[in-house]
Amino acid sequence: MAAASGGTDKTADGTDKTGRGADTTPRPAYEQARDELADLVKRLEAGGLTLEQSLRLWERGEELAAICEEWLEGARARLATAMAKQETGGQTPGAPF
Protein backbone atom coordinates (compact mmCIF):
# COMPACT_ATOMS: atom_id res chain seq x y z
CA MET A 1 0.00 0.00 0.00
CA ALA A 2 1.23 3.49 -0.78
CA ALA A 3 1.03 4.74 2.79
CA ALA A 4 3.65 2.35 4.06
CA SER A 5 6.08 3.20 1.28
CA GLY A 6 5.77 6.96 1.70
CA GLY A 7 3.78 7.52 -1.50
CA THR A 8 0.34 8.99 -1.79
CA ASP A 9 -2.73 8.00 -3.75
CA LYS A 10 -4.09 10.91 -5.76
CA THR A 11 -7.79 11.55 -6.28
CA ALA A 12 -9.38 12.83 -9.50
CA ASP A 13 -8.96 16.47 -8.42
CA GLY A 14 -5.20 16.06 -7.89
CA THR A 15 -5.31 15.96 -4.11
CA ASP A 16 -4.20 13.03 -2.02
CA LYS A 17 -6.29 11.32 0.65
CA THR A 18 -5.50 14.09 3.12
CA GLY A 19 -6.42 16.87 0.69
CA ARG A 20 -2.85 18.16 0.56
CA GLY A 21 -2.94 18.63 -3.20
CA ALA A 22 0.33 19.46 -4.92
CA ASP A 23 2.12 20.05 -1.62
CA THR A 24 5.76 19.12 -2.17
CA THR A 25 6.59 19.05 1.55
CA PRO A 26 7.84 15.57 2.40
CA ARG A 27 5.40 13.58 4.48
CA PRO A 28 6.79 13.03 7.96
CA ALA A 29 7.45 9.56 9.29
CA TYR A 30 4.78 8.15 11.58
CA GLU A 31 6.85 8.80 14.70
CA GLN A 32 7.52 12.41 13.70
CA ALA A 33 3.85 13.09 13.00
CA ARG A 34 2.79 11.40 16.25
CA ASP A 35 5.30 13.38 18.31
CA GLU A 36 4.37 16.68 16.69
CA LEU A 37 0.70 15.91 17.27
CA ALA A 38 1.35 15.18 20.96
CA ASP A 39 3.19 18.50 21.27
CA LEU A 40 0.31 20.36 19.64
CA VAL A 41 -2.15 18.80 22.05
CA LYS A 42 -0.01 19.90 25.00
CA ARG A 43 0.13 23.45 23.65
CA LEU A 44 -3.63 23.56 23.14
CA GLU A 45 -4.32 22.12 26.59
CA ALA A 46 -1.96 24.63 28.21
CA GLY A 47 -4.12 27.47 26.95
CA GLY A 48 -3.06 31.09 26.67
CA LEU A 49 -3.30 31.09 22.89
CA THR A 50 -5.28 33.44 20.73
CA LEU A 51 -8.24 32.05 18.83
CA GLU A 52 -6.28 32.27 15.58
CA GLN A 53 -3.29 30.42 17.07
CA SER A 54 -5.58 27.73 18.44
CA LEU A 55 -7.27 27.30 15.08
CA ARG A 56 -3.93 26.99 13.27
CA LEU A 57 -2.77 24.37 15.76
CA TRP A 58 -6.05 22.49 15.45
CA GLU A 59 -5.79 22.45 11.64
CA ARG A 60 -2.21 21.20 11.80
CA GLY A 61 -3.31 18.56 14.29
CA GLU A 62 -5.97 17.35 11.87
CA GLU A 63 -3.33 17.08 9.13
CA LEU A 64 -1.01 15.14 11.42
CA ALA A 65 -3.80 12.81 12.55
CA ALA A 66 -4.58 12.03 8.90
CA ILE A 67 -0.90 11.32 8.21
CA CYS A 68 -0.74 8.97 11.19
CA GLU A 69 -3.88 7.19 10.01
CA GLU A 70 -2.36 6.71 6.54
CA TRP A 71 0.73 5.12 8.08
CA LEU A 72 -1.40 2.88 10.28
CA GLU A 73 -3.58 1.79 7.35
CA GLY A 74 -0.43 0.90 5.42
CA ALA A 75 0.92 -1.08 8.35
CA ARG A 76 -2.37 -2.97 8.70
CA ALA A 77 -2.31 -3.85 5.00
CA ARG A 78 1.28 -5.08 5.21
CA LEU A 79 0.45 -7.22 8.24
CA ALA A 80 -2.61 -8.67 6.53
CA THR A 81 -0.52 -9.55 3.48
CA ALA A 82 2.21 -11.16 5.59
CA MET A 83 -0.34 -13.15 7.59
CA ALA A 84 -2.10 -14.32 4.43
CA LYS A 85 1.23 -15.48 2.96
CA GLN A 86 2.04 -17.34 6.18
CA GLU A 87 -1.34 -19.09 6.11
CA THR A 88 -0.83 -20.18 2.50
CA GLY A 89 2.73 -21.39 3.05
CA GLY A 90 4.38 -18.37 1.47
CA GLN A 91 2.24 -18.44 -1.67
CA THR A 92 0.12 -15.55 -2.78
CA PRO A 93 -3.56 -16.41 -2.11
CA GLY A 94 -5.14 -17.73 -5.29
CA ALA A 95 -1.80 -18.66 -6.88
CA PRO A 96 -1.83 -22.13 -8.45
CA PHE A 97 1.52 -23.11 -6.88
- In this prediction, residue 93 carries a pLDDT of 58
- Is residue 26 domain-resident? yes
Q: Quick one: pLDDT at residue 10? A: 43
Domain residues for 61?
Answer: 15-87
Residue 70 neighbours by CB under 8 Å, 6+ apart: 3, 8, 17, 18, 27
Residue 34 resides in a domain: yes
**Backbone dihedral region of 65: left (phi > 0), alpha (psi from -120 to 50 degrees) or beta?**
alpha
Does 5 fall in a domain? Answer: no
pLDDT tens readout for residues 29-66: 999 999 999 999 999 999 999 999 999 999 999 999 99
**Total count of domains within the chain:** 1
What is the reported pTM? 0.63
Q: Is residue 4 part of a domain?
A: no
User: Taking the CB of residue 5, how many other CB atoms lie within 10 A of it?
Assistant: 9
Q: What is the CATH number of the domain that holds 60?
A: 1.10.287
